[in-house]
């Protein structure tokens, strides 16, 4: 059957994933009653849509995730996927959004265009157009089955204008795109295109137009493994959908459709869509809030066991995961030569020279020119960083943009409102020194390493230990214990025992320990030593 307007629609439902509304006659479709003849939704998309609306979303169930706690106890690898949400609930929110994503699941042959601003306040610092182009190409190559077919750097005076380029360069670009019919998408290497600009460019070029936001979101989608990452990505998509909705409704209004009331509902089409988007956002936020609480709980458990936490941060692909693997010997970690390989926060136990156990937190990498909304969506996982005892900032010292990357990472950290004491105690690591001929240390405080070749790790561990001892207020003490009592086993359990010198005839031992104030207080109370 056809809708009352005898036209085919579903265009809105395809783009916004909300209840299907006919864009011509503004009636709700009852799925199954009429079928779109032309639709941008695939049949599976339609099925998903149907399922999405028929089920109740987000019934949160609490379950114990004992493996995590056990992992922390053993100082072993902890994958922080929380089991308080059903897989199906998260998948539903994630999939629902998937229908909406602009990029879809198809492969792309891409032309990358970098708008080069040569003068004025918008001219990027500490980098060049060629390096920015190389990064944009790297982003595309990260995606499986996507290929860069062509790339071009074109200058522009005002990248904010709708067509990005002036008339001349716009014409050159359009001809170049039209001359290569194999091209299926154009990636304009800017932080974010306005929906109007995106639409205008798509109309002019007849292919998909992407910006950094949509490409990075797509990479995130492909790499997300845990529920938290999936929900955070779904949240990051909301502003994108909202601005697209506005643009689409403005377009509809021109045809006299967007602000018409939907039969019997008392709401206009725009109002319905906005309400549904708001509802979705609330569901995601509420699910994330549950995970945040769980994360807080884990944090306090770690604190109570007094394992110092070291957050390993840095630009994407700088070698964070490789370094943690080298420091902990955790064979399960799989570094990949890929941007945003790590999206899910994981915790890995390792030992410092004094045998103190620390927990290394592997985090999502940073990238320049990323909208704050994207970072904000990951704030739940990044909250762990603010609560850690130390930040290790890993830099790929072999990268031509290493300085620019450092500035970017520090800026993001500042925006995350990391406590000042944590910012001031950052241990900077110069990684990948094996790739630099005649490496010379330019910053005296940085620790040079090759995580891959396992060079410089002992010095790094010592630096981490010294910084931890300072930041956690732990003391290194030598205490005399009675071997016949439980003192020694207590110290092994509650502190870090470094050395034991047994005085055989006395039945005592001199024990060197790293111990927190609180634990030392408990020790004295228990064993009444002076
Ligand atoms: N030559 C060399 N390569 C390294 C070194 N450290 C890491 N790599 C390589 O750099 C690539 C990225 O390493 P990862 O450890 O996945 O980097 P990451 O910072 O965790 O990346 P994301 O999770 O994507 O942000 C991999 O191919 C590693 O093998 C090093 O010291 N020397
Ligand atoms: Mg990683």
pLDDT greater than 90 at residue 321: yes
3-state secondary structure 439-492: CCCCCCCCEECECCCCECHHHHHHHHHHHHHHHHCCEEEEEEEECCCCHHHHHH
Query: Is residue 189 located within the same domain as residue 295?
Result: yes
Q: Give 339's pLDDT tier (boundaries 50, 70, 90).
A: confident
142 CB within 6 A, ligand 1: no
Domain boundary among 280, 304, 328: 304
Domain final residue pick, 285, 304, 323: 304
Domain CATH for 240? 3.40.50.11060
Same domain, 296 and 368: no
- The reported pLDDT for the residue numbered 134 is 94
Query: Does a structural domain hold residue 501?
Result: yes
CB 193 less than 6 A from any atom of ligand 1: no
Mutate to test the pocket of ligand 1, among 321, 344, 435, 439 (most ligand atoms within 8 A of CB): 321
Work out the pLDDT band at 471, boundaries 50, 70, 90. confident
Q: Are 122 and 190 in contact (CB under 8 A)?
A: no
Q: Is residue 327 part of a domain?
A: yes
**Any domain includes 98:** yes
Nearest to 354 by CA among 212, 504, 458: 458
Q: In Å, what is the CA distance from 8 to each residue of 27, 101, 267, 290, 323?
A: 12, 21, 22, 41, 55
Any idea which of 203-207, 215-219, 359-363, 412-416 has the lowest mean pLDDT?
Answer: 412-416
Q: Which of 295-299, 300-304, 385-389, 496-500 has the lowest mean pLDDT?
A: 300-304
Q: Within a domain: residue 61?
A: no
Q: CB neighbours of 126 closer than 8 A, spacing ≥ 6?
A: 401, 403, 404, 407
Share of the chain above pLDDT 90, in %: 34
Helix 66-74 with 269-305: angle, nearest 10 deg: 40
Residue 74 has a pLDDT of 31
Pair 502, 461 in one domain: no
Question: pLDDT value at position 451?
Answer: 98
Same domain? 128 vs 19: no
| Total domains present in the chain | 4
- Please indicate whether residue 325, judged by its CB atom, sits closer than 6 Å to ligand 1: no
Position with higher pLDDT, 319 vs 411:
319
- For residue 246, being part of any structural domain is answered with yes
Q: 431 lies in a domain? A: yes
pLDDT higher at 357 or 184: 184
The CATH number of the domain where 341 resides is what?
Answer: 3.40.50.300
DSSP classification of residue 212 = H
Whether residue 42 is predicted with pLDDT greater than 70 in this model: the reply is no
Query: Would the pLDDT of 120 be above 70?
Result: yes
Residue 331's pLDDT band (cuts 50, 70, 90): confident
Q: What's the pLDDT at 97?
A: 52
Question: Minimum-distance ligand to the CA of 346?
Answer: 2
Q: Are residues 228 and 88 in the same domain?
A: yes
Boundaries of domain holding 330: 306-471
Q: Whose CA is closest to atom 30 on ligand 1?
A: 432
What tokens were used for 279?
Answer: 């509802």
Residues 374 and 439 in one domain: yes
Pair 408, 448 in one domain: yes
From 335, 363, 430, give the residue whose CB has the most ligand 1 atoms within 8 Å, as the site to mutate.
Answer: 335
What confidence category does residue 172 fall into, taking pLDDT thresholds of 50, 70 and 90?
very high
pLDDT at 89: 74
| Residue 505 near ligand 1, beta carbon < 6 Å | no
499 lines ligand 1 (CB under 6 A): no
CB of residue 338 inside a 6 A radius of ligand 1: yes
Q: Which of 223, 319, 365 to mutate to test the pocket of ligand 1 (most atoms within 8 A of CB)?
A: 319
Report pLDDT digits (tens) over 183-195.
Answer: 999 999 998 898 8
ipTM over 0.90: yes
At residue 263, the pLDDT reads 60
Distance CA 46, CA 31 (A): 9
The secondary structure of 157-204 as a DSSP string is S-TTSTTSS-HHHHHHHHHHHHT-TT--EEEE-SS---HHHHHHHHHH
DSSP line for 223-239: H--SHHHHHHHHHHHHH
Give the Cα separation of 263 and 49 in Å (integer). 22
Inside any domain, residue 73:
no
Residue-wise pLDDT for 86-112, tens only, equals: 777 777 777 655 444 555 567 899 999
User: Does the pLDDT of residue 500 top 80, yes or no?
Assistant: yes
Q: Is residue 68 part of a domain?
A: no
Task: Please name the residue that has the structure tokens 């009352």.
Answer: 4
* Ligand 1 pocket residue status of 82, Cβ below 6 Å: no
pLDDT tens per residue across span 239-281 = 878 877 777 777 777 766 656 666 666 777 778 888 888 998 9
For ligand 1, whether the C-beta of 448 sits within 6 Å is no
For 480, the token pair is: 């005399």
Cα end-to-end span (Å), the chain: 89
Same domain, 485 and 462: no
Q: What is the pLDDT of residue 178?
A: 95
d(CA 479, CA 468): 21
Q: Is 175 in the pocket of ligand 1 (CB under 6 A)?
A: no
Does residue 402 sit in the same domain as residue 510? no
User: What are the CB-based long-range contacts (under 8 Å, 24+) for 481-488?
Assistant: 481/508, 481/509, 481/511, 482/507, 482/508, 483/507, 483/508, 483/509, 485/527, 487/523, 487/527
What is the average per-residue pLDDT within 384-413? 92
Residue 49: pLDDT band (50, 70, 90) is: very low
Higher pLDDT, 50 or 230: 230
Query: Are residue 334 and residue 385 in the same domain, yes or no?
Result: yes
User: What's the pLDDT at 505?
Assistant: 84
Provide the 8-state DSSP code for 301: H
- Residue 435 CA: which ligand 1 atom is closest? 1
Residues 273 and 413 in one domain: no
Q: What confidence tier does 380 reach under pLDDT thresholds 50, 70, 90?
A: low
Query: Given 304, 338, 371, which residue is the final one in a domain?
Result: 304
How far apart are the CA of 320 and the centre of ligand 1, in A? 7
Q: How far is residue 149 from each of residues 46, 141, 186, measured CA to CA in Å?
A: 32, 11, 10
User: Which pLDDT band, with edges at 50, 70 and 90, does 22 fall under?
Assistant: very low
Query: What is the pTM (predicted TM-score) of this model?
Result: 0.74
Note the pLDDT of residue 85: 67
Residue 487 Cβ inside 6 Å of ligand 1? The answer reads no
Quote the CA–CA distance of 195 and 310 in Å, as a whole number.
41
Cα gap 370→216, rounded to integer Å = 9
pLDDT for the residue numbered 466:
92
Cα separation, 354 vs 475, whole angstroms: 12
| pLDDT (average), residues 62-71 | 31
Considering only residues 393 and 301, tell me which one the structure prediction assigns the higher pLDDT: 393
CATH of the domain at 480: 3.30.70
Q: Average per-residue pLDDT in the chain?
A: 77
Q: Which atom of ligand 1 is nearest to the CA of 337?
A: 27
Kindly state whether residues 190 and 271 are assigned to the same domain. yes
């Amino acid at each position: 059957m056809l809708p009352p307007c005898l036209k085919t629609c579903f265009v809105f439902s395809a783009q916004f994933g909300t209840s299907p509304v006919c864009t011509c006659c503004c009636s709700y479709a009852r799925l199954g009653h009429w079928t779109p003849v032309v639709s941008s939704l695939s049949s599976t998309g339609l099925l998903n849509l149907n399922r999405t609306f028929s089920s109740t979303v987000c019934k949160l169930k609490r379950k114990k995730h004992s493996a995590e706690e056990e992992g922390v106890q053993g100082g072993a690898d902890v994958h922080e996927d929380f089991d308080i949400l059903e897989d199906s609930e998260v998948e539903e929110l994630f999939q629902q959004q998937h229908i909406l994503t602009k990029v879809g699941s198809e492969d792309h042959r891409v032309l990358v265009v970098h708008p080069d601003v040569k003068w004025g306040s918008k001219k990027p610092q500490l980098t060049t157009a060629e390096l920015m182009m190389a990064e944009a190409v790297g982003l595309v190559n990260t995606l499986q089955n996507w290929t860069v077919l062509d790339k071009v750097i074109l200058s522009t005076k005002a990248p904010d204008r709708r067509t990005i380029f002036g008339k001349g360069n716009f014409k050159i670009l359009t001809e170049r795109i039209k001359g290569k019919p194999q091209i299926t998408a154009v990636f304009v290497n800017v932080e974010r295109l306005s929906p109007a600009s995106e639409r205008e460019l798509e109309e002019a070029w007849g292919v998909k137009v992407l910006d950094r936001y949509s490409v990075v979101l797509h990479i995130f989608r492909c790499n997300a493994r845990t529920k938290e990452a999936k929900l955070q990505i779904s949240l990051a998509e909301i502003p994108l959908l909202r601005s697209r909705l506005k643009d689409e409704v403005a377009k509809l209004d021109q045809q006299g459709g967007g602000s018409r009331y939907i039969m019997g509902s008392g709401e206009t089409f725009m109002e319905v869509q906005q309400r549904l988007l708001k509802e979705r956002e609330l569901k995601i936020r509420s699910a994330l809030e549950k995970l945040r609480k769980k994360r807080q709980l884990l944090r306090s458990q770690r604190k109570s066991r007094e394992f110092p936490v070291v957050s390993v941060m840095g630009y994407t692909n700088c070698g964070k995961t490789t370094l943690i693997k080298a420091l902990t010997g955790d064979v399960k970690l799989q570094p990949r030569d890929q941007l945003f390989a790590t999206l899910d926060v994981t915790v890995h136990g390792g030992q410092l020279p004094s045998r103190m156990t620390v927990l290394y937190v592997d985090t999502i990498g940073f990238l320049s020119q990323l909208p704050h909304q994207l970072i904000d969506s990951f704030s739940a996982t990044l909250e762990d960083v603010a609560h850690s005892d130390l930040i290790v900032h890993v830099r790929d010292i072999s990268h031509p943009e290493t300085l620019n990357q450092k500035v970017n990472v520090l800026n993001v950290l500042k925006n995350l409102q990391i406590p000042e004491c944590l910012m001031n105690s950052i241990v900077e690591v110069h990684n990948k020194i094996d790739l630099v001929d005649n490496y010379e240390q330019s910053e005296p405080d940085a620790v040079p390493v090759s995580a891959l070749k396992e060079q410089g790790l002992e010095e790094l561990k010592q630096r981490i230990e010294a910084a931890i001892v300072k930041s956690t207020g732990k003391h290194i003490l030598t205490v005399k214990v009675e071997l016949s009592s439980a003192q020694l086993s207590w110290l092994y359990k509650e502190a870090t025992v470094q050395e034991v010198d047994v005085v055989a005839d006395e039945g005592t031992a001199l024990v060197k320990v790293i111990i927190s104030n609180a634990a030392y207080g408990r020790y004295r109370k228990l064993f009444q030593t002076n």
